[in-house]
């Protein structure tokens, strides 16, 4: 069974850099885009960015100055780094795969594979 699973620290201090990894297991996935999406308490899904197999990246303009994504195809992983975090970055972070670039996700159903999510809390 193919799965995407997020991993990383559950607690980050303000001003630090958040680093998360998404690992594909149980088989291979054909996807054009590998995405990071988050959902803050009481808010909707926010697309953060995407990376292709060739390494091309697409970022949410609101995060462009702080976000970086990379991909290790040999390890079946892709990563997210978010710099200078604040308590407003507290959210459940998800990784997902898709064939299309979805910048305004209304539902996880739009994505082919969706991770379980990992809670990240930024302390003030």
Digit-coded pLDDT (tens) for 44-100: 999 999 999 899 999 999 999 999 999 988 889 999 999 999 999 999 999 999 999
Rounded Cα distance, 71 and 92, in Å: 21
Segment (H or E) for 49: strand 45-51
Rounded Cα distance, 70 and 77, in Å: 9
Q: How far is CA 106 from the centre of its chain?
A: 16
Rounded Cα distance, 70 and 38, in Å: 17
**Average pLDDT over all residues of the chain:** 95
């Amino acid at each position: 069974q193919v799965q995407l699973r997020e991993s990383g620290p559950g607690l980050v201090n303000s001003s630090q850099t958040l680093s998360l990894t998404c690992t594909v297991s149980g088989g291979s996935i054909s996807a054009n885009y590998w995405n990071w999406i988050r959902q803050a308490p009481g808010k909707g899904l926010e697309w953060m960015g995407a990376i292709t197999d060739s390494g091309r990246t697409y970022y949410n303009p609101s995060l462009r100055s702080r976000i970086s994504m990379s991909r290790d195809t040999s390890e079946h992983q892709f990563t997210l780094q978010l710099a200078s975090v604040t308590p407003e970055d507290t959210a459940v972070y998800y990784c997902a795969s898709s064939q299309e670039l979805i910048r305004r996700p209304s539902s996880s159903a739009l994505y082919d594979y969706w991770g379980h999510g990992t809670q990240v809390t930024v302390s003030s």
